[in-house]
Amino acid sequence: MVKHQYTEASIKSLDWKEHIRMRPGMYIGKLGDGSSHDDGIYVLLKEVLDNSMDEFVMGFGKTIEISVRGQKVIVRDYGRGIPLGKVVDCVSKINTGGKYDTKAFKKAVGLNGVGTKAVNALSEYFKIQSHRDRKVKNIEFERGVITQEDDIVDTSQRNGTKVSFIPDSNIFGKYRFLEDYIVNMIWNYVYLNPGLSIVYNGQKYFSENGLYDLLQSNIDCKLSYPIVHLKGADIEIAFSHSTQKYGETYFSFVNGQHTTQGGTHQSALRESIVKTVREFYKKNYDASDIRQSIIASISLKVMEPVFESQTKTKLGSSDMGGGLPTIRTYVNDFVKTSLDNFLHKNLELSNLLHQKIQQSEKERKELAGIKKISRERAKKANLHNKKLRDCKIHYNNLKQDRRLETSIFITEGDSASGSITKSRDVQTQAVFSLKGKPLNSYGLTKRIVYENEEFNLLQSALNIEDGLDNLRYNNIIIATDADVDGMHIRLLLITFFLQFFPDLVKENHLYILDTPLFRVRNKQRTIYCYDINEKKNAENELSGKLEITRFKGLGEISPSEFKEFIGPNIRLDPVILKGDTTIDDLLKFYMGKNTPQRQQFIINNLKIEEQLETDNIDE
């Protein structure tokens, strides 16, 4: 046996672009194909946008223009423009940038000189144009390598920077940009920066009232009282309580960066609201009763913030910087003073808040006994049946770079769950098998979650009884047949999550598994088709005698074939809530008793579907 020799020749040094391309997860988190809001292609867009935002924060350029057409992204700001002699370095030399000079960028998001370098290295095409003092510098790259560098020439265009890029399909595969995710990102930027205008594909986005507008746009239910909106020098908060919603919802930001996983500032907000409320009402309420159904947002500006990862989703800083106290102290002092004053000045609102807390206390005590019995039932059920085939590495024990990979498939019937179980990645993919159709939970109280065996076991499997902090799987995937019964089960499950755990949907954890409807093959090749158009293309592409199979259910797909559909090439359709309707209205229309209106909706859409099928047949 020849042993591997560990010598000087074993030591290798990678240049900046090679390292980024070899270990992209270190720089942009997971890759993904664009179906998830935190996939790498959106991180690339955000990295470029952050640079433009830092210019705006410093007082240069009130408009940012974004274009996303197909796979090409263009971002143009009207800031100062990169100093022309340093354009190459700023996009291709690691640890290079103006943000190391804290006098120029006092409270910037990107402080490590990596952002645009990662975009450059991970793009099959990257172009940077810097307009400064009526001069312009143009440089083009391919996967981090310069392909064209023009001399500095005169220009009549305004100062600023224009970045164009196409994410590398060799890295991201067959990706797609989803407009809903981009629009949500843009809204967050304008909510946090009153006075900023972002023009995206010709549509202008603008906010006058900051976090108040953000909260207002994200509220899809009735509120217990009007939104409380408080602003300080480096802090802004807004919050209210829902009348029907469960759990806690937070939108937290640091220097304009959306910290989706929270951090020290969000923890301080949760703590300070509880402390202030207890002191104001002079009663030691349980923290869960004060925070139940809260919808809150915090924006904080910190000197040189420290994040727990390159993607900046969680704040790790403990200090504000610049001689200010700790973040915890700063937030606590602000909330204690500002919120206490606000509650004293708005006694009607204070009474409504008090009533909401008392209502939550009453409901918690009523559910306490039922919860205890339900937990024991769930433990006993999991010991004696195979409803949950768990993955080997549980969510809470995963390292940060693998945590985002965990998934659970919710299936119907033994055959479908059996096929997925045999073909899944046992390390990161779990399977939960439903027994029959779930209950229509629209309009029911949370008591039913504990009294209904299916809901209780599903809640237990996901570990979401006390909120999403301990959610065991990042991706919750509904895997049902593409027939009427499968669609009905899918709708009932979405209703369950929207009714009792809406944050699960809002935070983009819920997906629908897209599986092929047809298999077209000859002796040499097999093509799986997800719709009738793909089937027709496959028939034209393959020659000879063809075998065409129509999959009527997931159980008809063999485990060996299923590996293809739930592996690296998995197709997921995210369940996305759009801002033009509320959850209450949505559930009432689809799951309530408005039969005539729903019947007319089905008839109208059935006509469209029949016409599409007729057109396909005619062709």
Average pLDDT of the chain?
A: 82
* Distances 222 to 81, 156, 225, 450, 582 between C-alpha atoms, Å: 46, 52, 9, 24, 9
Report the percent of the chain where pLDDT is more than 90. Answer: 35
Buried/exposed 577-605: b ≥16 CB within 10 Å, e otherwise: beeeeebbebbeeebbeeeeeeeeeeeee
Write the DSSP symbol of residue 446: T
Write the DSSP symbol of residue 437: P
Q: Please compute the mean of the pLDDT values over residues 304-308 and round it to a whole number.
A: 72
Give the lowest-confidence range in 38-42, 412-416, 566-570. Answer: 412-416
Give the 3-state DSSP-derived string for 52-66, with helices as H, strands as E and coil as C: HHHHHHCCCCCEEEE
Does residue 537 contact residue 546 with C-beta atoms inside 8 Å?
no
User: Which pLDDT score is estimated for 581?
Assistant: 60
**Within 10 Å of residue 484's Cβ, how many Cβ atoms?**
8
More confident residue, 220 or 341: 341
Instruction: Examine the pLDDT at 375 and tell me if it is beyond 80.
Output: no
First to last CA, the chain: 64
User: Which pLDDT score is estimated for 383?
Assistant: 44
User: Which pLDDT score is estimated for 380?
Assistant: 57
Return the structure tokens found at 62: 């009130």
d(C-alpha 111, C-alpha 99), whole Å? 6
More confident residue, 612 or 602: 602
User: Which pLDDT score is estimated for 612?
Assistant: 41
Write the DSSP symbol of residue 439: P
Instruction: Examine the pLDDT at 103 and tell me if it is beyond 60.
Output: no
Instruction: Examine the pLDDT at 615 and tell me if it is beyond 50.
Output: no
d(C-alpha 186, C-alpha 180), whole Å? 10
Instruction: Examine the pLDDT at 309 and tell me if it is beyond 80.
Output: no
Give the lowest-confidence range in 290-294, 310-314, 448-452. Answer: 310-314
Q: Please compute the mean of the pLDDT values over residues 242-262 and round it to a whole number.
A: 81
**Within 10 Å of residue 617's Cβ, how many Cβ atoms?**
8
Q: Please compute the mean of the pLDDT values over residues 206-234 and round it to a whole number.
A: 89
Q: Is 198 helix (H, G, I), strand (E, B) or coil?
A: strand
When pLDDT is cut at 50, 70 and 90, the band that residue 111 belongs to is very low
Instruction: Examine the pLDDT at 509 and tell me if it is beyond 60.
Output: yes
Q: What top-level class would CATH report for the domain 385-515+552-580?
A: alpha beta
More confident residue, 436 or 185: 185
Q: Please compute the mean of the pLDDT values over residues 103-126 and round it to a whole number.
A: 70
Q: Please compute the mean of the pLDDT values over residues 39-47 and round it to a whole number.
A: 91
- Name the phi and psi angles at 611, rounded to 5: -65, -40
User: Which pLDDT score is estimated for 471?
Assistant: 87
Q: Please compute the mean of the pLDDT values over residues 567-596 and round it to a whole number.
A: 74
Give the lowest-confidence range in 88-102, 488-502, 544-558, 571-585. Answer: 88-102
User: Which pLDDT score is estimated for 5?
Assistant: 61
Pairing relationship of beta strands 72-77 and 63-69 according to DSSP bridges: antiparallel
Give the lowest-confidence range in 123-127, 254-258, 492-496, 552-556. Answer: 552-556
Give the lowest-confidence range in 251-255, 357-361, 611-615. Answer: 611-615
Instruction: Point out which residues pair with 138 in neighbouring strands.
Output: 129
User: Which pLDDT score is estimated for 65?
Assistant: 97
Torsion on CA atoms 90, 91, 96, 97, rounded to nearest 10: 50
User: Which pLDDT score is estimated for 499?
Assistant: 85
- DSSP H/E element including 476: strand 475-479
Instruction: Examine the pLDDT at 106 and tell me if it is beyond 70.
Output: no
User: Which pLDDT score is estimated for 593?
Assistant: 72
User: Which pLDDT score is estimated for 293?
Assistant: 87
Q: Please compute the mean of the pLDDT values over residues 153-173 and round it to a whole number.
A: 93
Counting runs of H as helices and runs of E as strands, what totals does the chain give?
Answer: 22, 23
Instruction: Examine the pLDDT at 32 and tell me if it is beyond 60.
Output: yes
Instruction: Examine the pLDDT at 454 and tell me if it is beyond 90.
Output: no
Q: Is 567 helix (H, G, I), strand (E, B) or coil?
A: coil
Q: Please compute the mean of the pLDDT values over residues 271-286 and round it to a whole number.
A: 95
d(C-alpha 519, C-alpha 566), whole Å? 16
d(C-alpha 356, C-alpha 340), whole Å? 17
Triad 69, 581, 218: Cα angle to 5°? 80
Is CATH 3.30.565.10 the right assignment for the domain spanning 16-205? yes
Q: DSSP string of 134-177? A: TEEEEEEEETTEEEEEPPPEE--SPSEEEEEEEE-HHHH-S---
When pLDDT is cut at 50, 70 and 90, the band that residue 190 belongs to is very high
When pLDDT is cut at 50, 70 and 90, the band that residue 93 belongs to is confident
More confident residue, 98 or 291: 291
* Distances 607 to 249, 458, 522, 589 between C-alpha atoms, Å: 40, 37, 35, 20
Regarding the domain delimited by 211-364, which CATH topology (the fold level of the hierarchy) does it fall under?
Answer: Ribosomal Protein S5; domain 2 (3.30.230)
d(C-alpha 32, C-alpha 508), whole Å? 14
Q: Please compute the mean of the pLDDT values over residues 525-533 and round it to a whole number.
A: 88
- DSSP H/E element including 125: strand 123-132
Does residue 141 contact residue 126 with C-beta atoms inside 8 Å?
yes
What sign results for the dihedral spanned by CA atoms 42, 48, 51, 57?
Answer: negative
